[in-house]
């Protein structure tokens, strides 16, 4: 059984064990992170006072390559949350067959309360506290909740100063001027769109008019809404922390995005009717996309879900308890480790380019992302069909088998299992 640091993701792993060829010793290795570090980050505030923020970095596994994972700034960040997300990143990278392990980092802070200067000092302070653990061949941070390319620019610059070298491959999600790649900001939504397009006919049939509700109208949710709208889907409802908006005839997504860009929130929308946020999750739609917070669909509301399928664009939006209820009702779930893997895939492209001193065009990046997402989506769907297991289980089994193959290739477990002499 995985360590309780990985409480949620560990349950996903346990559910896949009966369908995997994993050796017992490989499972033992996956129980604990390679490293788990908590640091204190002192920041001089604009008023001259000193504040100290807790910072974290968990590197779960590096068997398949250097650890990879975002850094989030949130008042709710904890070691437990970061560890669970690092665990999930290990499997996400393996599922997409990327040469990475999993990591995650964060700072317990409300970034909305910081000035730009304070945010920069905090970003640089996080790097200063953890620089010995980072690097292009060891652990590569990226943007996450409430961090963006500007934060990565500050962090990359600070790391270069500390190491007295130019190491652009040490961070991904950077501004293009610092070695970032075009399309990184839309990579999560682009990846999710490719997954939906590939599995749409199998999940909801070939109806000419398909309906979707999206919980979360931030970067990923709003861009996915635009892509689906442009592809002919009827986006009937969207929500953010300020409001939920419904129009059964289809929302004007471009107008809603302009409204949010100008006002900073969905509240007071130019079209549609405002509804309660919980109502969105219970709408009778073909596809429900939770793209906001973890645990949005849980044991308390899973029976209210009327969508034919769910696509997890957020990390962990459906709890294991909700999974059982949804499965019993025939609601298929496209898991987060597949649906939102576009971000880490494009981060890999950036890392490769930075190491080679190369620059790709936006077209090449988009083409490579589509190819990788479609390929791994088909493999998950085929495994699900062959073994008669849900898509979520199939995704975790495929990732687990790849991890097991890499771990056993180090020799110890396969040697003992095949009768070698133990020293």
pLDDT in tens, 34-60: 999 999 999 999 999 999 999 999 999
Stated pTM of the model: 0.91
pLDDT for 422 equals 41
Report yes or no: 213 and 288 within 8 Å, Cβ to Cβ: yes
User: Crossing angle for the helix pair 149-163 and 116-130, nearest 10 degrees?
Assistant: 40
- Residues 403-410 have a mean pLDDT of 89
Report yes or no: 134 and 127 within 8 Å, Cβ to Cβ: yes
- Residues 90-103 have a mean pLDDT of 97
Report yes or no: 292 and 311 within 8 Å, Cβ to Cβ: no
Q: Who has greater pLDDT, 161 or 24?
A: 161
| pLDDT band, very low/low/confident/very high, at 26 (cuts 50, 70, 90) | confident
214, two tokens:
């999206």
Report yes or no: 347 and 325 within 8 Å, Cβ to Cβ: no
Give the Cα separation of 69 and 88 in Å (integer): 10
Residue 423 above 60 pLDDT? no
Supply the residues annotated as catalytic: 104
Residue 226 above 60 pLDDT? yes
pLDDT > 90: what percent of the chain? Answer: 83
For the stretch 319-334, pLDDT in tens is 999 999 999 999 999 9
Give first-to-last CA distance, the chain, whole Å. Answer: 27
Residue 418 above 50 pLDDT? no
For the stretch 189-221, pLDDT in tens is 999 999 999 998 888 777 668 999 999 999 999
Q: Who has greater pLDDT, 420 or 309?
A: 309
pLDDT for 411 equals 66
User: Hey, do 32-167 and 187-339 end up sharing a CATH topology, with the first three levels equal?
Assistant: yes
pLDDT for 207 equals 67
pLDDT > 70: what percent of the chain? Answer: 94
Q: What is the 3-state secondary structure (H, E, C) of the chain?
A: CCCHHHHHHHHHHHHHHHHCCCCHHHHHHHCCCCEEEEEEEEEECCCCCEEEEEEEEEEEECCCCCEEEEEEEECCCCHHHHHHHHHHHHHHHHHCCCCCEEEEEEEECCHHHCCHHHHHHHHHHHHHHHHHHCECCCEEEEECCCCCHHHHHHHHHHHHHHHCCCCHHHCCCCCHHHCCCCCCCCHHHHHHHHHHHHHHHHHHCCCCCCEEEEECCCHHHHHHHHHHHHCCCEEEEEECCCCEEECCCCCCHHHHHHHHHHHCCCCCCCCCEEECHHHHHCCCCCEEEECCCCCCECCCCHHHCCCCEEECCCCCCECHHHHHHHHHCCCEEECHHHHCCHHHHHHHHHHHHHHHCCCCCHHHHHHHHHHHHHHHHHHHHHHHHHHCCCHHHHHHHHHHHHHHHHHHCCCHHHHHHCCCCCC
| pLDDT band, very low/low/confident/very high, at 1 (cuts 50, 70, 90) | very low
For residue 172, the Cα-to-chain-centroid distance in whole angstroms is 14
pLDDT for 8 equals 58
* CATH fit for domain 187-339, picks 3.30.1300.10, 3.30.1360.200, 2.70.70.10, 3.40.50.720: 3.40.50.720
CA atoms within 13 A of residue 107's CA, in its CB half-sphere: 27
* CATH fit for domain 32-167, picks 3.40.50.300, 3.40.50.10860, 3.40.190.10, 1.10.10.10: 3.40.50.10860
Give the Cα separation of 74 and 97 in Å (integer): 30
pLDDT for 86 equals 95
- Residues 286-309 have a mean pLDDT of 95
Q: Which of 84-98, 226-240, 403-417 has the lowest mean pLDDT?
A: 403-417
Give the closest residue to 233 by CA, choosing from 311, 306, 292, 333.
311
Report yes or no: 15 and 92 within 8 Å, Cβ to Cβ: no
| Domains in the chain: boundaries | 32-167, 187-339
């Amino acid at each position: 059984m995985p360590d309780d640091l990985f409480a949620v993701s560990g349950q996903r792993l346990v559910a896949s064990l009966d369908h995997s060829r994993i050796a017992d010793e490989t499972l033992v290795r996956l129980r604990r992170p390679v490293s788990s570090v908590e640091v204190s980050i002192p920041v001089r505030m604009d008023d001259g006072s000193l504040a100290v923020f807790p910072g974290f970095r968990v590197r779960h596994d590096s068997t398949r390559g250097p650890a990879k994972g975002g850094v989030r700034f949130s008042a709710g960040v904890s070691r437990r949350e970061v560890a669970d997300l690092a665990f999930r990143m290990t499997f996400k990278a393996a599922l997409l067959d990327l040469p990475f392990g999993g990591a995650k980092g964060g700072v317990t802070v409300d970034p909305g309360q910081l000035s730009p200067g304070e945010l920069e000092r905090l970003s640089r302070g996080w790097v200063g506290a953890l620089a010995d653990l980072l690097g292009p061949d060891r652990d590569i941070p990226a943007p996450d909740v409430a961090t963006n390319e500007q934060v990565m620019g500050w962090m990359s610059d600070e790391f270069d100063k500390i190491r007295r070298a130019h190491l652009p491959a040490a961070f991904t999600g950077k501004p293009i001027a610092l070695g970032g790649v075009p399309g990184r900001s839309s990579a999560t939504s682009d990846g999710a769109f490719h997954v939906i397009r590939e599995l749409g006919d199998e999940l909801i049939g070939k109806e000419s008019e398909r309906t979707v509700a999206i919980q979360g109208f931030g970067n990923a949710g709003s861009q996915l809404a635009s892509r689906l709208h442009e592809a002919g889907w009827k986006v009937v409802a969207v929500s953010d922390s300020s409001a939920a908006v419904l129009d059964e005839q289809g929302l004007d997504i471009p107008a809603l995005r302009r409204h949010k860009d100008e006002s900073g929130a969905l509240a007071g929308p130019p079209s549609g009717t405002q509804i309660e946020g919980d109502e969105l999750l219970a709408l009778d739609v073909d596809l429900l996309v939770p793209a906001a917070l973890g645990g949005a669909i849980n044991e308390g509301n899973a029976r209210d879900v009327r969508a034919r399928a769910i696509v997890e664009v957020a990390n962990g939006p459906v709890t294991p308890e909700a999974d059982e209820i949804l499965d019993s009702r025939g609601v298929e779930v496209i898991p987060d480790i597949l649906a939102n893997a576009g971000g880490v895939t494009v981060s890999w492209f950036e890392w490769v380019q930075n190491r080679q001193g190369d620059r790709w065009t936006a077209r090449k990046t988009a083409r490579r992302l589509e190819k990788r997402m479609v390929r791994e989506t088909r493999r998950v769907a085929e495994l699900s069909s062959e073994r008669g297991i849900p898509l979520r289980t199939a995704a975790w089994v495929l990732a687990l088998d790849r991890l097991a193959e890499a771990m056993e290739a180090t020799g110890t477990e396969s040697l003992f299992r095949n009768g070698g002499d133990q020293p």
